[in-house]
Amino acid sequence: MTSSPDTQPLPAQRITGKARLAGVLGWPVGHSRSPLLHNYWLRRYGVDGAYVPLPVRPEAFETAVRGLQAAGFSGANVTVPHKEAAFRLADVLDESARATGSVNTLIFQDDGTIRGLSTDGDGFVASLRAAGVDLPAVSDATTGRRVLLLGAGGAARSVAVSLAAAGMEVCVTNRTRARADELAASLPGLSVCPWEEWEDRLGDYALLVNTTSLGMEGGPEPGFCPALERASAGLVVADIVYVPRVTPLMAEAQRRGLRTVGGLGMLLHQARLGFHAWFGVEPQVDAQTEAYVLASFSS
Ligand code: ATR
């Protein structure tokens, strides 16, 4: 931690006639922290640019993207419910976009083509590494490189792809078994654990990742807090939920002396590639960035 990161004054935002432009397409989009984060970085690095929320209904998605491109935007982030539509629209896809079938970052290229990236999973892995969790070396003799993923939605898919690429062996468990089977069938090397059994099998894993909405403020079953008594001593517990900052699952893990990683880092790290591509500066995710975004949760 640097000293008092939130007390350092930021320069005013610079938006001239040559400003570079980007935004986030979603429906709804009002909850997104991306405008706050990107405009913070724009100010911090003195970039001539702006990043705006773009509320776009599903049926208008393609029209909106073509319009942004025609208006000279550098690109956009894409959030719920447009990630699959963005995948279909992009002309060039990076490997993680192909593996996940979804795109969260669009880059409008000089030749008129649109490049699509999926940065959520790599953002998650980067946040683990930034928190000092060394992949795949987190494993030990009992657990090997095994990860247990709770959930089988879009977030689980992104995280699974990136964890596998980082050398981990991924097992997925989900309330609705068919979705876990479907995910495992579409990604090489994934296995499935029955939802009723994962707590009993926890000792086999080096890393537990919650990708469900369980534990999220306003989410299902607010008290969700599984028993972690079968965990190995070295288990790392990660949650992609970032409100609250310490979820009930993380609190229980901490009570047992286990290392935990919250979801805020994933939110910050997934944004870096897009910012770099649109604005030409590689932004840092540091204590100052974290403090700035965190301050917005209480306002
Ligand atoms: P995302 O794309 O953000 O991952 P999603 O596709 O809606 O969102 O997936 C949400 C995940 O949370 C799913 O794995 C879901 O389990 P089901 O497939 O059984 O619906 C999980 N989830 C949501 N509410 C849950 C609950 N009350 N108990 C267990 N899992 C739950």
Ligand 1 closest atom vs CA 211: 4
**Hunting for tokens 């965990």 — which residue is that?**
231
By three-state DSSP, how is residue 132 classified?
coil
Cα→Cα distances 60→16, 20, 54, 55, 89, Å: 29, 23, 11, 10, 13
- What is the average pLDDT across 35-54? 98
| pLDDT tens string 115-149 | 999 999 999 999 999 999 999 888 888 888 999 99
Could you confirm whether 18 is annotated as catalytic?
no
Report the pocket of ligand 1 as residue ranges, CB < 6 Å. 151-156, 174-176, 179, 211-214, 220-221
**How many C-beta neighbours within 10 Å does residue 142 have?**
13
Q: What is the DSSP letter of 295?
A: H
Quick: pLDDT tens for 71-116.
Answer: 999 999 999 999 999 999 999 999 999 999 999 999 999 999 999 9
Residue 299: predicted pLDDT: 67
* Residue 60 DSSP class: G
3-state helix, strand, coil in the chain (%, to 5): 35, 20, 45
CB 38 within 8 A of CB 51: yes
Q: What are phi and psi of 150, to 5 degrees?
A: -90, 120
| Element housing 260 (H / E) | strand 259-261
Q: Is the pTM of this model over 0.85?
A: yes
Residue 179 CA: nearest ligand 1 atom is 18
Atom of ligand 1 nearest to the CA of 154: 2
Catalytic residue among 20, 33, 83, 157: 83
Residue pair 158/219 in contact by the 8 Å Cβ criterion: no
Q: Tell me which amino acid residue 30 is.
A: G
- The closest of 269, 261, 292 to 134, measured between CA atoms, is 261
Q: Which of 150, 195, 212 to mutate to test the pocket of ligand 1 (most atoms within 8 A of CB)?
A: 212
Question: What CA dihedral angle connects 86, 183, 31 and 213, to 10 degrees?
Answer: 170
31-68 burial, b if ≥16 CB within 10 A, otherwise e?
Answer: ebbbbebbbbbbbbbebebbbebbebeeeebeebbeeb
pLDDT per residue as tens digits for the range 1-36: 444 445 578 999 999 999 999 999 999 999 999 999
Average pLDDT over all residues of the chain = 94
Centre a 10 Å sphere on the Cβ of residue 220 and count the other Cβ atoms it contains. Answer: 11
Structure tokens at 158: 């992104």
Say what the pLDDT of residue 253 is. Answer: 97
